[in-house]
Chain A
Amino acid sequence: MCSGQENGGPLIFCVLEGLCTALILIDAVTKRYPDGTTAVDRLTLEIPDGSITVLVGPSGCGKTTTLRMINRMIDPTEGRITLDGADIREQPVNALRRSMGYVIQHAGLFPHRTIAENIATVPRLLGWDRRQARARALELMDRVGLDKALAKRYPYQLSGGQQQRVGVARALAADPPVMLMDEPFSAVDPIVRKGLQEELIRIQEELGKTIVFVTHDIDEAIKIGDMVAVLREGGKLAQYAPPAELLSSPADGFVEDFLGLDRGIRRLSFFTAAGLELNTVPMIAVDSTAEQMAARTIPQTPYLLVTDTEGRPLGWAVAKERIAGSDALIAFGHSFTAGRDSLRAALDSAVLSPTGWAVAVDENGRAVGVAAQEAIAAAIRTAHLEQSAGSDAIPGASDNPDDAAVDA
């Protein structure tokens, strides 16, 4: 089964015809405790090589148990787990664990060791000499965005976000092919969490690890996952799909509930705004003359976007009033970057502004055009049609009820 290639990009290596080599294969695994509770129930998952697979679900769904069975911190009651085709029980447990980076909530740093010593832990366990391990630690501090001046500090001297970066660096230290991450960002505040998520995506683009990531936060799962496994209470797999497919076709009511009411809007994150037609007419520089303003007023809208002399947007003005000499500006909310941002950013920009128009800027923040909500709605419809024509993964996208919500 090779689902998800369309959306996952060149992430899954297929060496034998029609067969995926999942780096990690969880094969009919069950974990039952002596008191009779079943944490994981006949779970089968192929975790593809070189991509981020997210296990997500409510508490008690067995996601952490599943993660801990991969590095044998918990042994399954039934079933088996293979790594590159070999049963994980075949090699010594500590060797297996040293080949898998592990990042945990609250970082779990060693309080009695400096930052550099913390990061160098696994290389030292593997027998690297002190100098080599330290050089590696400094290199990794750089990679995860930590100031090297922190190398000799102790964990208590760092903020929660910095500690979590150390946790990621420590897991990467011996360059393991596999990274296991157990709710690594859930104990830091939302702004720091967003930064850490983006950092992880960036690091993953450079390193291409096989990452298994556990979270209870579906937004995080959709943001960072190449594949998302939704688990339900009792450790049963509810759905295993790429995030875009999860949003467009949830397998059942449980997944639909778990995704929440705004999955249509969130799905727009996967549609690029590149095809959105921008209107370049109703834009004036702040020092424009009345004639110039009149020439740029269009029938579709009574507003004009005012920019500074460099072309950066300042706000909207009512054309008639500005021509009559008023300096009043209406906030434009936020802009979106043309060609880079998604339709979700464009739509949000349009619904945020009282004028109903989104402002598109280039990489340097200069306004390159504006788009009405109607134009964005049309672009969304087109994107849905293209999705359903180009992929069998999203059946019935054209009659998706979310279109109606966007039109309104």
Chain B
Amino acid sequence: MGGFFDIPSDLQASWWGLIGLHLQEALIPVLFGLLIALPLAQLGARFRWLYPPMLGVTTVLYALPSLAFIVLLINWTGLSTTTVEIPLTIYSLVVLIPAIVDGVRSVPEETHAAATAMGFGPFRRYLQVELPIAVPAIFAGLRVATVSSISLVSVGALIGNEGGLGNLLSDALHYHRPILSWNSVITTAVLAILIDGLLVLLRRLLTPWAVR
């Protein structure tokens, strides 16, 4: 007992189980963030006046301390993973919306004009021309959002057993086992680097057309 991989039984999970829980709590918010950001960014790109206030709101929400956010949410969603995932979803918007808007705006004017002139309606043009061309920019945003989400999940440990690998930090204090905090920090960092690498690989597969 007391080794690097010996997880205290109060966490009711193995090391691998904690990794699974951590990834689930980190990645689902990014996915939901992307689903919310896509239509919002399209509005921001089309109606230029809407974009600055949209950015302002997401920035203010990002400035809310995560702990305060979570404590507020306990009233509605209780001590659950949802309580951790909602703030993370909202935080991801501050990165994803500008990434998509910049990506869509980076479509060359002549490509945009050519698409219009060939008879693409606005919706088809967005899906088939603007969005695919924005993929590299969107992935740049996704990488930042994902890595920051992976590191933020640990805050969930403060409301009980909802912090994934972050729970090891509170247990390290509780059981006087500093090795557990090493485990938490190192595993989280390795996880972030691996997921980031996967995203880079995925982007390469999706954009064989990009200049290298």
Complex Cα–Cα for A106 and B111 (A)? 9
A180 at the interface (CB under 8 A from B): yes
A98 at the interface (CB under 8 A from B): yes
A113 at the interface (CB under 8 A from B): yes
Chain B residues near A185: list those with CB within 8 A: none
Complex Cα–Cα for A100 and B135 (A)? 30
A92–chain B nearest beta-carbon distance, Å: 9
Q: 0/1 per residue, B177-212, Cβ < 8 Å to A? A: 000000000000000000000000000000111110
Chain A residues near B116: list those with CB within 8 A: 73, 97
Q: 0/1 per residue, A89-104, Cβ < 8 Å to B? A: 0000111111010101
Q: 0/1 per residue, B105-133, Cβ < 8 Å to A? A: 00010111111111111000000010011
A112 in contact with B209 (CB, 8 Å): yes
B129 in contact with A180 (CB, 8 Å): no
Chain A residues near B211: list those with CB within 8 A: 156
B110 in contact with A97 (CB, 8 Å): no
Closest to B128 in A: A110
B121 in contact with A71 (CB, 8 Å): no
A-B CB proximity, top 10 nearest = A108-B114, A108-B110, A102-B117, A98-B119, A97-B119, A94-B119, A154-B209, A112-B132, A112-B209, A106-B110
A106 in contact with B119 (CB, 8 Å): no
Instruction: Name A residues whose Cβ lies closer than 8 Å to a Cβ of B.
Output: 71, 73, 93-98, 100, 102, 104-114, 121-122, 125, 154-156, 167, 170, 180
Closest to A103 in B: B114
B110 in contact with A104 (CB, 8 Å): yes
- Contact-residue bracket for chain B: 20 to 34
Closest to A93 in B: B119
Instruction: Name B residues whose Cβ lies closer than 8 Å to a Cβ of A.
Output: 108, 110-121, 129, 132-133, 135, 207-211
Q: How many A-B residue pairs have CB under 8 A?
A: 69
B209 in contact with A122 (CB, 8 Å): no
Known: A97-B118, A108-B115. 20 other contacts (CB 8 A): A73-B116, A73-B117, A106-B110, A107-B110, A108-B113, A109-B111, A110-B114, A110-B115, A111-B111, A111-B209, A111-B210, A112-B207, A113-B209, A114-B209, A121-B118, A122-B119, A125-B118, A125-B120, A156-B211, A167-B114
Whether A106 contacts B108 in the complex (CB less than 8 A), given A112-B132, A112-B207, A125-B119, comes out as yes
Chain A residues near B119: list those with CB within 8 A: 93-98, 122, 125
Complex Cα–Cα for A167 and B117 (A)? 12
B108–chain A nearest beta-carbon distance, Å: 7
Chain A residues near B132: list those with CB within 8 A: 112
